[in-house]
Structure 1
């Protein structure tokens, strides 16, 4: 969209790009109130956007991922080493059934008991026996599937809604497709689910807050866990209300996905989600997946975070494009998931934006909801080796599943089926959650800036100090319903990438103006050799310098150009900036300089004039000499 276009023209452009009415209204509202909505001289700074090749940016190689080494902080649920071309065998732990608040409570645990009505009263029976009994019966339609699931979830018989599932099979699919599902796909899903005790023979730890740890699973183990999630077998995971045991975890059982919706767009989203997931199950049931995935919770104590104002790194290389998508052109790079702190967001509910779509086309990501507690402010979740199964079109209400993902055909940067020595596909996704700024101006406060740049840094950095780190593939992180300023978020991600020693590949999702603006200021920062510490300090001053009476007197980029284009002596930052790095007082670059040790601009001009006059009187200038320039210090 071009600034200055009337709202009806902007609406037409967004409709052509498949945005929903709700999203269009939100965008137009943000356009009215966004602080960068000023006439700006910076728009003409980049007359030509340099086009470089995706191949110039690093992708994952066989040595780009941390090795899989069992330890107290890395639970490996399969035997090492792995044999190429076949699913690894499960590792048999000393205690298969850990029924405590440090591990996933498994459906087959002997401790999972369920009350059953008998002629003599209620008795407790192992719930897994009920699951096996219900799923082993022939199931020929969605009504029978509902009865099977509710037979071991009887307390939810009046609460859970399966009308969306019935709509899918009775109204969306034709009779032959429904018969194929219940005759071929569903039996395979049942077999996967009931194989869980044989496939997972070690306890799965919970990835708790502020406890960095990793879990490595085979793709087949993940498929079995997800089949159990579909059949809603995980105990104690059907409520998130406090003070329930899992109130700080996302839900994992699929019951919310089955509910119906009177509003047609939402009903269609549920249909498309089921198409994605049933396609995944069809694939893994027809042929055993042979790979491995690693889920890593990263946590960085605040004491170990960078002192941003002291950072001397330059901004990294940047490729920015208004076309392409993170999951396509960014394939093989570190792909950013614009996450909810509850990983996966609304993937099992009504949500269908960037994170939910990523979890639908990479369904193995959904299993992270089983064991990942809500992310804290200096935490991220990294998933290595996940496989993509689907392609799609649209976004939010217009999202549509369009078929199978063929890595070699669908992604220009895909390396096909390349894996590392452990069987992990050379793909990696990092989940980082942005703040929700209901009051958009708050994002320019120093506390908010610090939180967001730290969050990005934790996600982008590599504690294992691996060589040849791939580029980060990202975009307008936290800039939709969370009201983030895309210009600001681009700079914060550049700063974090520079500190993490990674290049940045940025997708603006059709916004050509944003592409040009970010490219322009990136070129300016590079050509003027502005270190990220200096850029950071000016970002921290923007709010206090430009916010007055509820509005901004300058756009962010115009402000940065104005302060960074001043002569170096005038760009000297104040000796102390309160709260810039989260401390009460933080000293910036170098020592504080006494006023008496610095010339004023007027004094410099007078001194330089005196020197020129001296040279003129003595004829030095006529001989081609140049008078020395006068600098502070």
Structure 2
């Protein structure tokens, strides 16, 4: 059955390689020097389910510093107002236990608890968005008041759910972390209640300056209609994971891939030719691209502004799959030769609109099959494009090569059975990328990686037609990636010269004799 949607061209979507029932991991779930498994792998492999792997607390800058660690301490005032050090988890437990025992809790209760163990930020953190949300959305107050105690109880299970140190996915190293969905929900509940130590201060001199924020403080302040829709998605996720009948029970893997320069293609001499392409002006990566490697148009700080004011492709993706947010807990800023691949995340929500028009559109029932490691058959690839202050800056072969290498890093599979790619206008919009140039770059990287592409232009019918015609021309004439790279050199030279903008697709069409 062909899965066509709207205006499309090129090969049918079903001709691209998707996840299939026979694509299960063949090896057993095991931990290694580069794969941290936070569940008991031996028990899981013997059919015993997903239970936490025993371990010990580690208070090092190479690992997540957990709020439940005995080494996490805070100053409190004792008798005669003399300051003394207290285990921070004791304060957290006291406040969250009080919340968990309530039959109904308020946004003010959340603020009171959070500020009790984050006193340094009194007067700096605002909770107006959280308070306004409860009052602005019909029936939310009753729903929210009953959900909060369940979320507090979930956060308190941290020492029980995560017993092994969580290593950081550090810049310059390929490594993976596998966690159960239950563990992720517990970690995110702690992020909601802002319990993670050493993660509030930002700046180059702070201990975890190379990590994104994880505590939810920015989401709670500066009320806006966009914050309202974000909170709907986040709270729906917590509603599902705190319900005994609906809480998920699978595994999710976060893999940081780092490529050496020697592993990158020599683009000028690359002999690969264009692979399959499906182009559609309708449909989305996260829906019609299901079963393919779905590209997250990422920030180098994964998740971008999901916990702040951002609300474009990456932030929407993270709101539909809130388990992705936990990647911010342990993933350092991505380098030029790195990507992050998340396998097994669950989709919890539907949506409509984009940016200012984004709206949460209700629950989503995720019916994907699971692989041998109990992961949903969904792969999401986070690759960050360059952000150009001036559009003309991108017409430099140094920048083109950087984008080729970044896309190749994500597209190059470790396994020949990995699915083809679902992508679109990567690095365009707010990042000022040229949609035609970015599309050609992705086709070249996919060809070098031997992967087909489903390209969604998001209602861009002119881009859809132009890309299809250009791909058909390149494929018909057997144009290699190397020859197309040389043509881009000429194109960039023309673009950087003073004069009007030159259409890349037209340039390729009229420069065939040079190929």
Question: What TM-score does the superposition give when structure 2 sets the normalisation length?
Answer: 0.94
Match of 1:103 in 2: 63
Structure 1 position 172, deviation (Å):
2.2
Residue 557 of structure 1: aligned partner? 505
Conservation of the 8 A alpha-carbon contact between 1:112 and 1:126? yes
Please name the residue that 1:72 is paired with: 33
| Alpha-carbon distance in structure 1 between the residues aligned to 2:324 and 2:432 | 26
Match of 1:584 in 2: none
1:449-483 CA distances to partner (integer Å, 9 max, x unpaired)? 00000000001112x3x132211000000010111
> Which one of the candidate residues 365, 382, 385 is aligned to 2:324?
365
Can you list the C-alpha shifts for 1:242-278, whole angstroms capped at 9, x where unaligned?
A: 21111121100001100033xxxxx111011110011
Question: After superposition, what is the alpha-carbon deviation per residue over 1:410-438, rounded to whole angstroms, capped at 9, x for unaligned?
Answer: xxxxxx23111110000000000000111
Q: In the alignment, which of 409, 412, 424 is matched to residue 461 of structure 1? A: 412
| Length, aligned pairs only | 499
Residue 546 (structure 1) shift? 5.1
Separation of aligned partners in 1, 2:493 and 2:54: 59
Partners of 2:11 and 2:336 lie apart in 1 by 35
After the TM superposition, which residues 326-475 of structure 1 pair with which residues of structure 2 at under 5 Å, given as runs?
Answer: 326-407=285-366, 416-462=367-413, 464=414, 466-475=415-424
Alpha carbons of structure 1 residues 548 and 111: separation in structure 2 relative to 1, 3 Å: same
* Aligned counterpart, 1:501: 450
The verdict on how the C-alpha distance between 1:154 and 1:195 changes in structure 2, with shifts beyond 3 A counting, is: same
Residues 435 and 482 of structure 1 are in contact (CA less than 8 Å); yes or no, is this contact kept in structure 2? yes
Separation in structure 1 between the aligned mates of residue 319 and residue 304 of structure 2, nearest angstrom: 12
- Quickly say closer, same or farther: Cα 1:123–1:49, change in 2 above 3 A: closer
Q: Is the 8 A contact 2:11 2:277 kept in 1?
A: no
Return the index of the structure with the highest Cα Rg.
Answer: 1
> How many Å separate the matches in 1 of 2:311 and 2:26?
31
**Partner in structure 2 of residue 156 of structure 1:** 121
Which residue of structure 2 lines up, in the alignment, with residue 255 of structure 1? 217
Distance (whole Å) between structure 2 residues aligned to residue 155 and residue 346 of structure 1? 24
Instruction: Decide whether the 8 Å contact of 1:74 with 1:215 is kept in 2.
Output: yes
Structure 1 gaps, min length 5: 1-47, 262-266, 408-415, 573-633
Q: How does 1:493-572 map to 2 (within 5 A)?
A: 493-545=442-494, 547-552=496-501, 554-564=502-512, 566=513, 571=514
Which residue is equivalent to 1:323?
A: 282
| SS of aligned partner of 1:502 | coil
Deviation, 1:485, is 0.7
SS of the aligned residue for 2:194 comes to coil
Query: Is the contact between residue 63 and residue 166 of structure 2 (CA under 8 Å) also seen in structure 1?
Result: yes
1:157 Cα deviation from its structure 2 partner: 1.3
Which residue is 2:269 aligned to? 310
- Structure 2 matches for 1:213-224, cutoff 5 A? 213-224=175-186
Counterpart in 2 of 1:135? Answer: 96
Q: 1:186 Cα deviation (Å)?
A: 1.6
Q: Which SS does the other structure have where 2:69 is aligned?
A: coil
Displacement of 1:536: 1.2
Unpaired stretches in structure 2, ≥5 consecutive residues: 1-6
Give the deviation of 1:543 after TM superposition: 1.9
1:483 to 432, 456, 466: 432
2:135 to 133, 150, 170: 170
Separation (CA, whole Å) in 1 of partners of 2:9 and 2:63 = 51
Equivalent position of 1:580 in the other structure: none
Q: Structure 1 residues 210, 525: CA separation in 2 closer, same or farther (over 3 Å shift)?
A: same
Q: Secondary structure at the match of 1:240?
A: coil
* Mapping of residues 216-295 of structure 1, within 5 Å: 216-261=178-223, 267-287=224-244, 288-295=247-254
Query: What's 2:157 paired with?
Result: 195
Shift of 1:83: 7.2
How far residue 51 of structure 1 moved from its aligned partner, in angstroms, is 5.9
CA distance in 2 between counterparts of 1:322 and 1:492 reads 19
Answer whether contact 1:165 1:260 (CA < 8 A) is retained.
no
Instruction: Sort the Cα spacing of 1:358 and 1:50 in 2 relative to 1 into closer, same or farther, 3 A.
Output: closer
Between the aligned partners of 2:24 and 2:481, the Cα distance in structure 1 is 26
Q: Which TM-score applies when normalising by structure 1?
A: 0.76
Structure-1 separation of matches of 2:164 and 2:372 = 22
Distance 1:64 1:298, change over 3 A: farther
